[in-house]
Amino acid sequence: MILRRIGIGVAIGLVALVGLWIAALRFLPDAARVFTSAPSQPTARAASENGLLAVPVAGVARAAIRASWGDPRDNGLRAHHGTDVIAPANTPVLAAAPGRIEKLWTSVAGGTTLYVRSPERNWTYYYAHLAGYAPGLHEGQVVRAGDVLGFVGDSGNAGAGNYHLHFGLIRTTPAQHWYEGEDVDPYPYLAGKPLPR
């Protein structure tokens, strides 16, 4: 009986130790990149090479994304200009396409946000309501499709506990700034339609 209790105690201790080790990985600077970005990068890069946007949230399938463009917001005072990708808090947010980080920004509406500009400077990809940025992320940084940019959150006007990524797509000209351009419904391109050049 005593040996059985010791065996159960050891098993519980091992389970707790493994759980602590996994939890500790979240706080290592490159843990998100090593454990979530690497397996999805070949798929994201392959999509990018074919002119497709990669799904910008780790572990979310294209088929799980729903159109939300034009949905009423603020009691019908404005229309939604983006696609919301629902995911648990702190799920890695991935670059949907290659580009350069044009701006890291905090706003009342978007909360913690970032803007990535395509290499040709004709598209801006907008990521909002983040819980935070990936370690070391900075303006001017070149990113590839599938790179970890940040983590899903509920910052800005998302609403407490309403964890999702607001993904926006903006058509620009090379001379325009990060905050200029024409909003375009990103849903068809997240669903698999090739992005126009």
Q: How many domains does the chain have?
A: 1
Give CA separation, 39 vs 25, 36, 88, 101, 172, in Å: 17, 6, 19, 22, 32
Selected residue with higher pLDDT from 137 and 41? 137
Domain-located, residue 131: yes
Boundaries of domain holding 140? 2-190
- Reported confidence tier of residue 69, pLDDT bands at 50, 70, 90: confident
| 197 occurs within a structural domain | no
Q: For the CA atoms of 107, 110, 111, 116, what is the dihedral angle to 10 degrees?
A: -90
Average per-residue pLDDT in the chain?
80
Question: Confidence class of residue 23 from pLDDT cuts 50, 70 and 90?
Answer: very low
* 151 pLDDT higher than 90: yes
Coarse DSSP helix, strand, coil percentages of the chain, rounded to the nearest 5 percent: 25, 30, 45
The string over 135-171, giving b where at least 16 C-beta atoms fall within 10 Å of a residue's C-beta and e elsewhere, is eebeeebebbbbbbbbbbbbbbbbeeeebbbbbbbbe
- Considering 14-23, 46-55, 74-83, the range whose residues carry the highest mean pLDDT is 46-55
Is the pLDDT at 157 greater than 90, yes or no? Answer: no
The CATH number assigned to the domain holding 75 equals 2.70.70.10
CA 148 to chain centre: 7
Residue 39 lies in a domain: yes
pLDDT the model gives residue 51: 77
Residue 196 lies in a domain: no
130 part of a folded domain: yes
Higher pLDDT, 72 or 181: 181
Assess if residue 195 is contained within a domain: no
Q: Is the pLDDT of residue 77 over 90?
A: no
